[in-house]
Amino acid sequence: MSRQTEADEQKRARLAAALRENLKRRKAQARARRTAETEATDDTPPAQAETSRS
């Protein structure tokens, strides 16, 4: 039985690591999108930026 428990602990550790990596990747993607949106709106005049957001 201890082998099953050890396997379960290893599985939980792998899943936790995968979730952490996934979260890091998603945060990086969100930062990149936010940066791209900011750069796109900075290049357009304020009147056009407001109308393109709708």
Could you report the per-residue pLDDT of 12-42, keeping only the tens digit for each? 999 999 999 999 999 999 999 999 888 887 7
- pLDDT at position 49 over 70: no
pLDDT score at 42: 73
Of the CA atoms within 13 Å of residue 40, those in its CB half-sphere come to: 10
Which domain range does residue 29 map to? 2-52
Distances (CA, A) of 10 to 13, 22, 50: 5, 18, 51
- pLDDT at position 50 over 80: no
pLDDT score at 38: 85
Closest CA to 24 of 16, 35, 13, 14: 16
- pLDDT at position 46 over 90: no
Give the chain's domain count: 1
